[in-house]
Structure 1
Amino acid sequence: MVVTPCPESIPLSDITGARIFCKLDNLQRTGSFKERGARNALLQLEPRQKKRGVIAASAGNHALGLAYHGQLLGIPVTVVMPDYAPLIKVSTCRKLGAVVVMAGRDFAEARARADELAAAEGLAYIHGFDDPAIIAGQGTMALEMLEQVRDADAIVCPIGGAGLLAGLAVAAKALRPGIKIIGVESGATASFTAALRARRPVTIPRRATLADGLAVLRVGDNAFRLARPRVDRVVRVTEDWIALAILRMIELEKIVVEGAAAAPLAALMAGLLPELRGKKTILTVCGGNIDPAMLSRVIEKGLVHDGRLARFTVIISDRPGGLAELTRVIAASGASIKDIAHDRAFSGPDVSAVNAVCTVETRDHAHVRELHRALRRQGFPVSVAK
Structure 2
Amino acid sequence: MLQDHLLEEHAGPAAETEPALVLANAQVVTAADSFRGAVTLQAGKIAEVTDGGAIPSGAIDCQGELLLPGLVDLHTDHCERHAVPRPGVQWDPLEAAIAHDAQVAAAGITTVFDSLVVGLRDADQTRRDLLGQIMAAVEKGETLGLFRSQHFLHLRCEVTDPTLLDQVEPHMDHPLLRLVSIMEHTVGQRQFPDAEKYREILIKLFHVPPEQVDERFRRDAEASRTFAPTYRAAICRMAHARGIPVAAHDDETLEHVEEAAHLGMALSEFPTTLVAAEAARECGMATIMGAPNVVKGGSQTGNVSAVALVKAGLLDILASDYVPVSMLSATLRLTGDDIGLTLPQAVKMASLAPAKAAGLDDRGEIAVGKRADLLRVRLVEGHPVVRTVYAAGDRVA
TM-based fold match above 0.5: no
Larger radius of gyration: 1
Scaled by the length of structure 2, the TM-score of the pair is 0.30
Structure with greater strand share of residues: 2
Scaled by the length of structure 1, the TM-score of the pair is 0.31
By relative contact order (CA 8 Å, sep 6+), the higher-ranking structure is 2
